[in-house]
Structures are given as structure tokens and as C-alpha cells.
């Protein structure tokens, strides 16, 4: 790319740089940079409240656990479209893949802040594999899936760059990549839950069950669907001008279809959650403080949006569906935080509980901002919401 082209892309002379968006991003980036320096000169204790009882905090609980679940839109959408023949959702695949790719890339990026020796992150795969560890499985699958997502996303980038040949080669792999992506997602989405199966004494019995892996996997499906709806409605608002007719035409059907699907899966999820309580006979715990919190999660953030989705898709009520998707997304975040932080070490006195450090919150916001900026850049330059004119009908 020539220098002027770069300039054109990054500094558009026709637009002022000092937009509120740019200013906010700039401030966040600056703070993020300072926190980064603090983290890599002062150690984890400089920017986190992690301690020996809470080795995992906001970065694992939110950035990793919730992040991976919310990035599940990639595998759910591409599976629906390419494997289950819902071709009418085709135009949703690219935005979903892009969101997933950025999501996973950020998960891996933020892991570099969290682990003690980030340059050793390839060790488990290439140097000293600890195959008895569920974390090994998570690491391996996430690494492979990030590669798959990169390849799936790359067709859009290659179209933008005009590298037709390479693009067509990768495009031919779509089916294989999709199947591979679903396998990898099944494995790591569930193993993220299974990570906690090793600590029965630490996780509150209402959240700890042998089914944790199943719960994480099933909930990742409706998390992904909801995220596609949620992200789609935001994109509609901000990137409407980038969308072609096919995308716009298909979008409403997609929202209705996904809402209906999410509603079904969530109903199933509620059933298996109840089975989980019954199997461990934990009914009596529902009356405790943690029990009420558990019910808030299950009724307020699963049953309620499940119902809203059902009504919304029946009545074609898009604003209701949007609301349901927001509640579901929040619910997934809540669930992942419950398992990894809130119901974890539940027996510890309040004074020993973990509360995130401002630095952890700051860096989390930093990560999200990077994601938004990258998303914005890509959708304004690459064929995400529209088909590239050179590749029409190639689908």
C-alpha cells in the first residue's frame, strides 16, 4: 500500500479528527498504555487486586470466560448457514465471523496481561504439554480456533486488498473451516466450564455440578445468537450506510430466526439447570442468599429473555427482541462472573473477597475499545456488511 493510501485510510482529510468518538478512544488508549507500562514494569500486583485466594479475577472472569461465550456467534452463525442449510442467513456470517475473530484475538491479547510469563504461552502446546489439564484443552482449542477464524475472516480482507487468487483458495475451504470451527468451539466452550470441575470445594454447590461443561456449551449457543442480534442492532444504527440490500433484506429474517432459536435453547437450558439442582438435591440451598442470587441469574437473565424472545419472534416485535438480546448478553456475563468469581470461594468472609482493581477495569475497557475501533475500521473498509462487487454470486 502506498503512503498516500495509508494516509487516506487513517487520516481522512475530509473529516475532522477531533470527533467525540476519537477523543474518547484517545483517552482510553492513553490510560491503557499507562496501565500496560505499569503491568509490565511492576508486575500483576501493580494493577490488579489478585491474591492467593483469588488467582483469577476480572480478566479471566470477564475477558476470557464471558468474552469467549459472547464470541460464540461465529460458530453458531456459520454452522446455521453453511451446515444446516439456512442460506438465508448468509449475509450475517461475515459480521459474526469478524466479531468472533476480534473477540478471540482480544481474549488472547488480554491473556498476555494476565499470565505471569506471557512469552511462554506456546509452551503448553509446543514444549511441555500437560495433557491431563482441561486448561490445556482450552488453550489448544482457542489457539486453533483463532487460526480458523482468522482464515474465515481473511477472505474479506483479501477481497479488500484485491488478492483474488488467495481469496478464492481460502474461500474453497469454507466448509472444512466451518466444521473445524464447530468442533473446536464445542470443545473449548464446554471446557471453560469444565475448568472448575476440579474445584468442587471452592465453587458454591448451586453452580458446581458435573454438568458445568454442558451448561457452558449450551449457554454459549444462545450467547452467540444473542450477540449476533445485539451486535446487529448496534451496527444497524452506526454502519447503516455500509450495508447492502441483501444484508438489509435478510437481516430481519435473521433476527426473527435467531430469536426463536435462542428462545428454544434457553428453554432447554433452564430445564437442564433444574435437573442439575435435582441431581445434587440442592433445593434447600435456593432459600439462602446465594440461592436467591442463583434464581436472579436463572429467572431474571435466562427465563425472562427466553420468554421475551418467544413473544418477540411470534409478534415480529423487533424492539422486544433487541431488549431480550441485551438481557441475555448481560446474563451470560453474570453467569461467567458467578462461576469464576462471585460463587467461587463463596465461603470466604467478605473481607477476603476479591474486588477488581481500577487497573483491571481500565485495561478491560481498553481491550473492548481496541475491539470496537478495529471493528469500525474493518467494516468501513472491507466488505463485511455488503458483497464485494467483484465477488457477487460467488457464494
Partner 1 sequence: MSVSRRKFLAWMGGAGLSTAFGTKAYAASNKQFKGYPDTMGVLHDTTLCVGCRSCEDACNKVNNLPQPEKPFKELSVLDKTRRTDSKTFTVVNKYDNSKEPKNPVFRKIQCNHCLEPACASACFVNAFKKTKEGAVVYDASVCVGCRYCMVACPFNIPAYEYDKVLDPKVVKCTMCHPRLLEGKLPGCVEACPVEALTFGKREDLLKIARERIRKYPEKYVNHIYGENEMGGTSWLYLTGVAPEEIGMREDLGITPAPNLTSGALAVVPMVAGLWPVFLTGAYAISKRKEKIAAEEQAEAVSKAVAETNTAAEEKLAKALEKAAKEKEAAIQKEVKKALEEAAAKAQEEDKEEDA
Q: Give residues in contact with partner 1 (CB under 8 A).
A: 40-46, 48, 50-53, 55-56, 79, 82-85, 87, 114-118, 120-121, 123-124, 127-137, 139, 175, 178-179, 182-183, 186-187, 190-191, 194-202, 210, 213
CA 175, CA 286: separation in Å to the nearest integer? 45
- For partner 1, which is the closer residue by CB, 11 or 127? 127
- For partner 1, which is the closer residue by CB, 26 or 129? 129
- For partner 1, which is the closer residue by CB, 28 or 106? 106
Q: How far is the CB of 328 from partner 1 (least distance, A)?
A: 25
CA 1, CA 90: separation in Å to the nearest integer? 31
CA 76, CA 252: separation in Å to the nearest integer? 17
- For partner 1, which is the closer residue by CB, 224 or 312? 224
Q: How far is the CB of 127 from partner 1 (least distance, A)?
A: 7
Q: In which residue are the cell numbers 493510501 written?
A: 5
Q: How far is the CB of 134 from partner 1 (least distance, A)?
A: 6
Q: How far is the CB of 346 from partner 1 (least distance, A)?
A: 13
User: Angle 304-315/245-279 helices, nearest 10 degrees?
Assistant: 140
Count of CB atoms situated within 10 Å of the CB of 298: 20
- For partner 1, which is the closer residue by CB, 63 or 159? 63
CB contact at 8 A, 17 and 29 = no
Contacts of 149 (CB under 8 A, 6+ apart): 74, 97, 100, 101, 104, 181
Q: How far is the CB of 214 from partner 1 (least distance, A)?
A: 10
Q: How far is the CB of 81 from partner 1 (least distance, A)?
A: 10
CA distances for 235 relative to 169, 170, 232, angstroms: 29, 26, 5
- For partner 1, which is the closer residue by CB, 60 or 329? 60
Most distant pair of Cα atoms in the chain: their distance = 68
Q: How far is the CB of 121 from partner 1 (least distance, A)?
A: 6
Q: How far is the CB of 219 from partner 1 (least distance, A)?
A: 16
**Buried-state track 188-221, b at ≥16 Cβ within 10 A, e below 16:** bbbbbbbbbbeeeeebbbbbbbebbbbbbbbbbb
Q: How far is the CB of 148 from partner 1 (least distance, A)?
A: 14
Cell readout for 206 is 448451586
- For partner 1, which is the closer residue by CB, 39 or 388? 39
CA 364, CA 378: separation in Å to the nearest integer? 21
Q: How far is the CB of 171 from partner 1 (least distance, A)?
A: 16
- Alpha carbon dihedral 7, 9, 15, 16, in 10-degree steps, equals -60
- For partner 1, which is the closer residue by CB, 228 or 339? 339
- For partner 1, which is the closer residue by CB, 55 or 287? 55
- For partner 1, which is the closer residue by CB, 23 or 33? 33
Amino acid at each position: 500500500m502506498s503512503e498516500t493510501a495509508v494516509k487516506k485510510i487513517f487520516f481522512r482529510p475530509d473529516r475532522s479528527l477531533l470527533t467525540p468518538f476519537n477523543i474518547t478512544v484517545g483517552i482510553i488508549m492513553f490510560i491503557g498504555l499507562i496501565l500496560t507500562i505499569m503491568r509490565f514494569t511492576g508486575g500483576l500486583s501493580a494493577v490488579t487486586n489478585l491474591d492467593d485466594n483469588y488467582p483469577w479475577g476480572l480478566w479471566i472472569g470477564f475477558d476470557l470466560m464471558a468474552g469467549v461465550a459472547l464470541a460464540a456467534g461465529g460458530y453458531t452463525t456459520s454452522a446455521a448457514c453453511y451446515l444446516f442449510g439456512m442460506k438465508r442467513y448468509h449475509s450475517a456470517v461475515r459480521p459474526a465471523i469478524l466479531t468472533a475473530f476480534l473477540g478471540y484475538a482480544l481474549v488472547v491479547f488480554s491473556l498476555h496481561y494476565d499470565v505471569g510469563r506471557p512469552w511462554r504461552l506456546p509452551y503448553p502446546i509446543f514444549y511441555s504439554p500437560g495433557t491431563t489439564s482441561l486448561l490445556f484443552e482450552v488453550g489448544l482449542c482457542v489457539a486453533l480456533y483463532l487460526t480458523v477464524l482468522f482464515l474465515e475472516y481473511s477472505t474479506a480482507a483479501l477481497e479488500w486488498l484485491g488478492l483474488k487468487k488467495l481469496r478464492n483458495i481460502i474461500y474453497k475451504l469454507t466448509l472444512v473451516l466451518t466444521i473445524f470451527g464447530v468442533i473446536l468451539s464445542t470443545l473449548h466452550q464446554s471446557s471453560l466450564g469444565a475448568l472448575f470441575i476440579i474445584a468442587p470445594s471452592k465453587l458454591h454447590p448451586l453452580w458446581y455440578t458435573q454438568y458445568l461443561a454442558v451448561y457452558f456449551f449450551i449457554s454459549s449457543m444462545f450467547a452467540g445468537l444473542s450477540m449476533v442480534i445485539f451486535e446487529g442492532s448496534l451496527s444497524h444504527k452506526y454502519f447503516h450506510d455500509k450495508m447492502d440490500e441483501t444484508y438489509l433484506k435478510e437481516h430481519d429474517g435473521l433476527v426473527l430466526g435467531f430469536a426463536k432459536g435462542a428462545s428454544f435453547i434457553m428453554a432447554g437450558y433452564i430445564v437442564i439447570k433444574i435437573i442439575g439442582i435435582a441431581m445434587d438435591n440442592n433445593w434447600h440451598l435456593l432459600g439462602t442468599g446465594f440461592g436467591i442470587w442463583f434464581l436472579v441469574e436463572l429467572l431474571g437473565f435466562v427465563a425472562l429473555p427466553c420468554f421475551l424472545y418467544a413473544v418477540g419472534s411470534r409478534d415480529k416485535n423487533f424492539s422486544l427482541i433487541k431488549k431480550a438480546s441485551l438481557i441475555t448478553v448481560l446474563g451470560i456475563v453474570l453467569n461467567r462472573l458467578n462461576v469464576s468469581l462471585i460463587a467461587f470461594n463463596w465461603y470466604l468472609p467478605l473481607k477476603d473477597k476479591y474486588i477488581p482493581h481500577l487497573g483491571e477495569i481500565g485495561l478491560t475497557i481498553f481491550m473492548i475499545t481496541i475491539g470496537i475501533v478495529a471493528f469500525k475500521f474493518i467494516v468501513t473498509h472491507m466488505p463485511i456488511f455488503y458483497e464485494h462487487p467483484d465477488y457477487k454470486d460467488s457464494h
